Chains A and B, each alone.
Chain A
Amino acid sequence: DAKTTQPPSMDCAEGRAANLPCNHSTISGNEYVYWYRQIHSQGPQYIIHGLKNNETNEMASLIITEDRKSSTLILPHATLRDTAVYYCIVRLAHNQGGKLIFGQGTELSVKP
């Protein structure tokens, strides 16, 4: 599974959009991009995933560049409860043997 690179920490003002970048320059054509987050002392929570197209759900938007070498997770209106560590993961589909391997993630601090 491809490796990802994320900034170790970021700050965001409450109510503003939080844009979390992720580099995955060695991603292969059949690997998906997943985002999870982990609030302190809890298990990680799935946010969103995508392959090529941009995706949006009730939690966030995922923007994947055309060459798929990087992506951005967007929390449109960050709240204090969005303070967490955000993990960007690339992996093959499960039926191709892909497993979720977590890196160090980005620690997002949402400030009032």
Chain B
Amino acid sequence: SQTIHQWPATLVQPVGSPLSLECTVEGTSNPNLYWYRQAAGRGLQLLFYSVGIGQISSEVPQNLSASRPQDRQFILSSKKLLLSDSGFYLCAWSPGGGTNTGELFFGEGSRLTVL
């Protein structure tokens, strides 16, 4: 069966420090991968998605970047964190290829607090 893991689960970082959140998927190949952010309250914002290694699409301009160095690995990074980067970050995957039903499978989330 497929599983998705992201870490760290919680993170407290000072303003201006770097960030690296990692997400890995097991049990499938060539998945579509996504990073979402949820600020205070509800409503998830799609940040990045990837349909293959090295292929990253950014949905909104921001202080963050994403990379996909391996087929099942998706990394969210920042060189210098801002206070506004605080939030709940969620990684998700969906089956690749043209027969995708649209169902996303989410990780446990990483809660980032920037002080």
Interchain CB contact under 8 A, B102 and A43: no
Interchain CB contact under 8 A, B46 and A100: yes
List the B residue with the shortest CB-CB distance to A96: B98
Convert A79-112 into 0s and 1s, putting 1 for each residue whose CB lies closer than 8 angstroms to a CB of B: 0000001010001011100111111110100000
CB of B21 closer than 8 Å to a CB of A: no
Residues from chain B with Cβ under 8 Å of A38 in the complex: 42, 44
In the bound assembly, the distance between CA atoms of A97 and B70 in angstroms comes to 23
B6 nearest CB across to chain A (Å): 9
A100 nearest CB across to chain B (Å): 6
CB of B2 closer than 8 Å to a CB of A: no
List the A residue with the shortest CB-CB distance to B88: A41
In the complex with contacts A42-B108, A49-B101, A93-B100, A105-B43 CB distance below 8 A = yes
B34, B49, B94, B104: most-surrounded residue (chain A CB, <10 A): B104
In the bound assembly, the distance between CA atoms of A98 and B44 in angstroms comes to 16
- Chain B contact-residue range equals 20 to 34
Residues from chain A with Cβ under 8 Å of B34 in the complex: 100
In the bound assembly, the distance between CA atoms of A98 and B100 in angstroms comes to 10
CB of B7 closer than 8 Å to a CB of A: no
CB of B90 closer than 8 Å to a CB of A: yes
Residues from chain B with Cβ under 8 Å of A85 in the complex: 42
In the bound assembly, the distance between CA atoms of A41 and B107 in angstroms comes to 11
A22 nearest CB across to chain B (Å): 15
Convert A10-50 into 0s and 1s, putting 1 for each residue whose CB lies closer than 8 angstroms to a CB of B: 00000000000000000000001010101001111110010
Q: List 6 A-B contacts (CB under 8 A).
A: A42-B109, A43-B90, A43-B106, A94-B100, A95-B98, A105-B43
